[in-house]
Structure 1
Amino acid sequence: MVATTWKQEEIAALKADYEDLAQVNSDAVTKYNPTPGTGRTGYMAVPPNNYPFYNEDEKYEPVVQPDGGQLSDWKPLYQPSKEQEDEDRKKAYETGVPHGYVPRGFRYEGMPTIKLTVQSELHTEKEYGSKRDQNGKHSGGPFTIDVSPKMTIEDLRLVIKEKGGIIPGMQKLAYAGKKLDDPKRTLEHYGVAYWHNKFPSWPITIRKL
């Protein structure tokens, strides 16, 4: 594999930035840097996290694809189990990181609320709404709910189910063109409270897709 040769002043600048860096070779092909100086690993001759002051566990071996593209992410994608996701969100919450975590059993009573209109693109006015007949069937079409901006999307779906009769599994929610797909995030995180203050008539929509 032929590598682009680096200019000496570029290597000198790199060494100056990292005084404890071992000798930098502008064209050394290694398992950690199969394409040095080509731009595929950035503008440096050595990928940033492969400097000698990193231990072997912190370094990565880039994957070179058939088309020459290079994947330089040395960590696997974050794909937690449901239990791990809840635990990670809990840790973030407890350390002050805004990550949409709400403790189980949390109650929103006493918190300021906003009044939102809910409308469905999936149903007719005879299939959902705040009106109920003697059999408990909902009708009436678009309806309003009073909810706290601190409420999670997960809990919002339960409120919509109780008031309008649409089961959570059918609720692909959107607000102001933004999809509200993360059940653990809050209305506040999605900016619903902010935009509701400016445009109170904007509805929460149960979208088709």
Structure 2
Amino acid sequence: MRSARTLRLASTTLMASALKPALVVDPFCLRQFDKTSGKAPFLDVPVADFEKRVNELYEAAGGEACLVDGYAPFCKHVFVENFVNAKGAVAAITPENEHLLRSGYSARTEKELAVLSRWFPKESIAAPTAKYLDLILYSREQIRIENAAMGEDSGSDAPWGIVSVKAQDVDSELPMQPITMMRNALGADEGGSGVALDAAKYRESVAYWAGHAPIQ
């Protein structure tokens, strides 16, 4: 039988966990909660409610045991049910829709270098509701490094920041876009992470994205 002291300690631990969530939405990801930003997928839920639910799912899945390795040691993924009914953010390119593709130079923030990309305008593609959300996490240490280089605040002290959310139909990582891989190879001053380009991963990315495009 657990003692009263043990119960108090357990209660204190749970309260501390609730007060200090493992996952927080990084400011970089906030544009996905703003319908006017045009960033897909749009997450139609208050940020606080989103954080609460993803932390519940994270803890229920075993906490750090559910983390999936990303493209670098500081990057992890958590795959959860699509509890916000977000629409899929990628479409296959077909002879019937390829004329809808648009291209242009864009940057995710004002301080990043713009890169050439292509996409389907969200008004032109009827995207179905996705099955899963891929929560892309950066470690707090990496966020501090990149934010310092860009002259920005480091934000929360939570161990993991959600830097992006992808809505998709598989509970595994989709290939990163080739241009994103190249941008990540840049230094933090240009909006990258300084991670060397992996040629094999790059070829896998090209093979996938030659036949797909984001919806935005």
TM class by smaller structure:
under 0.3
User: Counting strand residues as a fraction of each chain, which structure ranks higher?
Assistant: 2
Larger Rg: 1
User: Counting helix residues as a fraction of each chain, which structure ranks higher?
Assistant: 2
Give TM-score scaled by structure 2 length: 0.21
Give TM-score scaled by structure 1 length: 0.22
